[in-house]
Amino acid sequence: MTAPVLKSTDRGLYCEAGDFFIDPWRPVDRALITHGHADHARPGHARYLATETALPVIRHRLGDITAEGIAFGEVRRIGDAEVSFHPAGHVPGSAQIRVAVGGEVWVVSGDYKTAPDRLSEPFEPVRCHAFITECTFGLPVFTWAQEADVAGSINAWWAANAADGRISVIGAYSLGKAQRLLALLNDGIGPILTHGAVEGTNAVMRAQGLPLPDTVPVTPETRSKDHPGALVIAPPSALGSSWMRRFGAVATGIASGWMAFRGVRRRRAADRGFVLSDHADWPGLNNAIAATGAERVFVTHGYTAIFRRWLESEGYDAQVLGTEFEGEDLDARDDDNAPAQTGD
């Protein structure tokens, strides 16, 4: 029996044929990175390879690293393996990584979303023999509304708060979700303010040419009276913190797939929850897996046991693959650990 194309190790997913790791969680010599979130792009590796679009944010977060960019679809030979990166639709520059060894093709999805948004490269199904898929939202209850409907709800909430003389604050990860929110906002309602972690990422993406509306960075001197009717975007961990005191009485919201569970919103003491995720919902997961044509499916970070059983009932050879990826976790530290940014 031939060796698997990829295997799980204590440092991450390893390809022996190419002597590289994919999204390793401990320092390695060569790391192929799907995207810039902190649970996938970690410091300490000797060499990094990521898409040309993802690399600027990864450098912003990790600092002085030895890294190379690769175009989507470009085939690169590393040792006895052929690798290529394909759009994952999760955040701008995010990729699935295709690895082919001796005619056997495996695909690592990283994090992905099949529904299009206004910034990320659309998800691209990749045919393979084995597919390693996240299942952060791997339950039938998770079915996302149309993005335009969510945008309408957010803008109506903001406008109502502005009319009442209140500042609106939305918690959203500083890489990906925050920029997606910005693309959905009606900036005619009022000014848009941003936490330092969000604004640092915005600056990187603007330099890459991504169309983002104008924003005002929050500083120690910022006061709500100077920005009536504003909406503030901050990491979820900033909500309820001392950082919020400068705004006085505010209306708070959280943008996350977890807002499909009302109890999560209550636990976070937010006034509103907006169901907006950069991960695939239940139909998206199932459609993506079917489109690969894979017979073997490895599930990771999410409802792994439940989703594995579901896939087995659908005829797949499904297994749970243990990783240190976190998915979308409102209780985790925000995704931006760049030393130049302000604290959460």
Per-residue pLDDT tens digits of the chain, which is 344 residues long: 467 999 999 999 999 999 999 999 999 999 999 999 999 999 999 999 999 999 999 999 999 999 999 999 999 999 999 999 999 999 999 999 999 999 999 999 999 999 999 999 999 999 999 999 999 999 999 999 999 999 999 999 999 999 999 999 999 999 999 999 999 999 999 999 999 999 999 999 999 999 999 999 999 999 888 999 999 999 998 988 899 989 988 999 999 999 998 777 666 668 899 999 999 999 999 999 999 999 999 999 889 999 999 999 999 999 999 877 666 665 444 444 332 222 22
Quick check: 320 and 311 in contact, CB under 8 A?
no
Structure tokens at 82: 């052929």
- Three-class secondary structure of residue 164 per DSSP: coil
Nearest residue to 5 via CA among 125, 110, 130: 130
Give the pLDDT of residue 99: 98
pLDDT of residue 328: 65
The Cα–Cα gap between 313 and 92 comes to 34
Centroid of chain to Cα 228 = 31
* pLDDT at residue 109, rounded to an integer: 97
- Distance (Å, rounded) from C-alpha 41 to C-alpha 24? 8
What the block records as the tokens of 339 is 């030393």
| pLDDT recorded at residue 330 | 54
Q: Which CATH number fits domain 147-274: 3.40.109.10, 3.50.50.60, 3.40.50.10710, 1.20.120.80?
A: 3.40.50.10710
Cα–Cα separations (whole angstroms), residue 2 to 6, 8, 15, 284: 12, 16, 13, 32
- Listed in order, the ranges of the chain carrying CATH 3.40.50.10710 are 147-274
Strand ranges of the sheet holding 67-70, from the earlier edge strand across to the other edge: 7-9, 12-15, 20-22, 30-32, 47-51, 67-70
Neighbouring C-beta atoms of residue 188, cutoff 10 Å: 7
pLDDT of residue 115: 96
Residues in the chain: 344
Domain with CATH 3.60.15.10 in the chain: 7-141+279-320
pLDDT attached to residue 336: 41
| Cα of 79 vs its chain's centroid, Å | 30
Which fold does the domain 7-141+279-320 belong to in CATH?
A: Metallo-beta-lactamase; Chain A (3.60.15)
Check: CB of residue 105 under 8 Å from CB of residue 98. yes
- In this prediction, residue 339 carries a pLDDT of 29
> Partners of 255 in the beta sheet?
274
pTM of the model as a whole: 0.92
Helices 177-184, 196-207: axis angle to 10 degrees equals 80
The pLDDT of residue 266: 63
Give the separation between CA 146 and CA 275, rounded to whole angstroms.
Answer: 10
pLDDT at 335: 41
- Residue 236: closest CA among 203, 264, 206: 264
